[in-house]
Amino acid sequence: MENFHGKNFAKKGFSNVKVMATKIAVCLEVGPDATGAFVPSCPGYWVFKRSPERALTKVKNAVAEWFNWLESHGEAVPAEAKKFEIEVAEILRVNYNPAEAGKPEPLFWSEVHPITRKDIERTLQLMEYSREDLLKCVSGLSDECLDWLPPGKPRTIRNCLRHIAYVEPWYITRLDVELPIMYPRNVFKLLAYTRRMVVDYLKDMPRNKMRGVFQPKKDKSPLCNLWTARKVLRRLVDHERLHTRYIAKLLQTYKSAGKVY
Secondary element (H or E) of residue 30: strand 22-30
**8 pLDDT tier (thresholds 50, 70, 90):** very low
Q: Which pLDDT value is given to residue 15? A: 39
Q: Which pLDDT value is given to residue 22? A: 84
Per-residue model confidence as pLDDT tens digits over 117-147: 999 999 999 999 999 999 999 999 999 999 9
Contact present, 118 and 232 (Cβ < 8 Å): no
154 has a pLDDT exceeding 60: yes
Closest by alpha carbon to 156, among 95, 231, 243, 238?
243
Q: Which pLDDT value is given to residue 12? A: 36
Pairing assessment for the beta strands 35-38 and 46-49 based on DSSP bridges: antiparallel
* % the chain with pLDDT above 70: 92
**44 pLDDT tier (thresholds 50, 70, 90):** confident
Cα(240)–Cα(226) distance, integer angstroms: 21
**37 pLDDT tier (thresholds 50, 70, 90):** very high
Contact present, 230 and 43 (Cβ < 8 Å): no
Contact present, 149 and 257 (Cβ < 8 Å): no
Per-residue model confidence as pLDDT tens digits over 239-252: 999 999 999 999 99
Secondary element (H or E) of residue 88: strand 84-93
Amino acid at residue number 54: R
Q: Which pLDDT value is given to residue 109? A: 92
* DSSP H stretches of helix in the chain: 52-72, 117-138, 143-146, 157-173, 187-203, 229-256
Q: Which pLDDT value is given to residue 20? A: 62
Closest by alpha carbon to 34, among 78, 81, 95, 111?
95
Closest by alpha carbon to 250, among 159, 173, 182, 131?
159
Question: 216: exposed, middle or buried (C-beta count within 10 Å: 0-12, 13-18, 19+)?
Answer: middle
Cα(29)–Cα(231) distance, integer angstroms: 14
**Is the pLDDT higher at 22 or at 12?**
22
Mean pLDDT of 42-65: 90
**Mean per-residue pLDDT over the chain, rounded:** 88
Contact present, 86 and 26 (Cβ < 8 Å): yes
Cα(97)–Cα(92) distance, integer angstroms: 12
Cα(8)–Cα(23) distance, integer angstroms: 19
Closest by alpha carbon to 233, among 147, 133, 125?
125
* % the chain with pLDDT above 90: 68
28 has a pLDDT exceeding 90: yes
Per-residue model confidence as pLDDT tens digits over 82-122: 888 989 999 999 998 988 877 788 899 999 999 999 999 99
